[in-house]
Amino acid sequence: MSELIPGLDDLSQKGCIEVSSGGSEFEWMKFEQRKLYTNAFIVVDGKILLGYKKRGFGVHKYNGFGGKVDAGETSIQAASRELMEEAGIESSLEHAGTFLFLIAGVEWAFHIDIYRADSYTGTPIETEEMHPHWFRINDEDHLDTPPIPFDKMWESDDLWFPLLLKKRNFIVRTDYIREGERDVLRKWCVKETSFNAS
Ligand SMILES: COc1nc(N)nc2c1ncn2[C@H]1C[C@H](O)[C@@H](COP(=O)(O)OP(=O)(O)OP(=O)(O)O)O1
């Protein structure tokens, strides 16, 4: 059995398959508190919708649509609200994964619920925070659409994107450090938690 990832529910790790891990020479970082966030991805007809972040945390990176879970909100309510606020669309979101992200110098852990959906209503629009763009998810179809821009995303995204795209559920922990202006991945573990892909 693989090592339990500290900070993530032990039960959800029972019987999981470890997909990848790295940085075993380092200790997991300690944290006192966690803050809840969401991140939602729309995958339709061989393409994924990502937003180019125009301001704030993760500025200039492509990512799903999401943000903080407000007081009194459930995680899925927050995810739906953020999808509307940041991309102007509605969707029936399904939980895809749980992601614990630490970065040296930030005293809390980001606990991010990741959602996906294969349909939506409305038209994606540029908002004050995000500029939406479609990317192809493989190199067989939609060659007129750019590939997923992993070089302009968080460094660890390509560790769990294959699971997201295959509709597999997962848990992830990543610990980053700051090197000058850059956030650099130091230690990580990705586990698949469901084996009933459709
Ligand atoms: C490696 O770490 C991360 N990877 C990925 N893919 N996404 C991450 C990572 N760390 C944080 N995120 C996501 C989680 C959220 O979707 C956003 C951050 O939310 P934000 O700070 O923009 O929250 P808002 O509530 O929208 O902020 P405002 O108060 O500025 O509106 O990044």
Give the number of the atom of ligand 1 that is nearest the alpha carbon of residue 157. 6
User: What pLDDT was estimated at residue 139?
Assistant: 87
Query: What DSSP assignment string belongs to 34-94?
Result: EEEEEEEEEEETTEEEEEEE-SSTTTT-EE-B--BPPTT--HHHHHHHHHHHHHS-B---E
Ligand 1 contacts CB of residue 124 (under 6 A): no
The CA distances from residue 190 to 81, 160, 165, in Å, are 27, 7, 15
CA of 36 to the centre of ligand 1 (A): 10
Domain hosting 125: range is 35-193
Q: CA 116 to CA 171: how far, in whole Å?
A: 14
Give domain status of residue 91, yes or no.
yes
Nearest CA to ligand 1 atom 15: 67
Q: Is residue 74 part of a domain?
A: yes
Average pLDDT taken over every residue of the chain: 94
Q: Examine residue 156 and state whether it is found in any structural domain, yes or no.
A: yes
By most ligand atoms within 8 Å of CB, the mutation choice from 63, 115, 127 for ligand 1 is 63
Please give the ipTM for the structure prediction. Answer: 0.96
| 112 C-beta closer than 6 A to ligand 1 | yes
Please give the tally of structural domains in the chain.
1
Q: How far does residue 155's CA lie from ligand 1's centre (Å)?
A: 14
Q: Is 51 in the pocket of ligand 1 (CB under 6 A)?
A: no
Q: Which of 42, 68, 81, 189 to mutate to test the pocket of ligand 1 (most atoms within 8 A of CB)?
A: 68
Ligand 1 pocket check for 156: Cβ under 6 Å: yes
80-111 pLDDT, tens digit each: 999 999 999 999 999 999 999 999 989 899 99
Asked, for residue 18, whether it belongs to a domain, the answer is no
**CA–centroid distance, residue 88 to ligand 1 (Å):** 17
Q: Is residue 12 part of a domain?
A: no
Report if residue 17 sits inside a domain. Answer: no
Output the pLDDT for position 100. 97
Structure tokens of 8?
């993530």
Residue ranges in the chain modelled with pLDDT below 70: 1, 195-198
Residue 30 within any structural domain of the chain: no
pLDDT at 2: 75
Residue 106: which CATH number? 3.90.79.10
Q: 94 C-alpha to center of ligand 1: Å?
A: 18
Distant-in-sequence contacts of 108-111, Cβ < 8 A, 24+ apart: 108/31, 108/32, 108/33, 108/34, 108/35, 109/7, 109/31, 109/33, 109/34, 109/35, 110/34, 110/35, 110/37, 111/34, 111/35, 111/36, 111/37
What's the whole-model pTM score?
0.95
Q: Are 51 and 132 in contact (CB under 8 A)?
A: yes
Residue 113 lies in a domain: yes
Hey, what are 163's tokens? Answer: 């699971």
Integer CA distances (angstroms), 92 to 25, 108, 109, 170, 173, in order: 41, 30, 27, 19, 26
The SS3 call for residue 9 is: coil
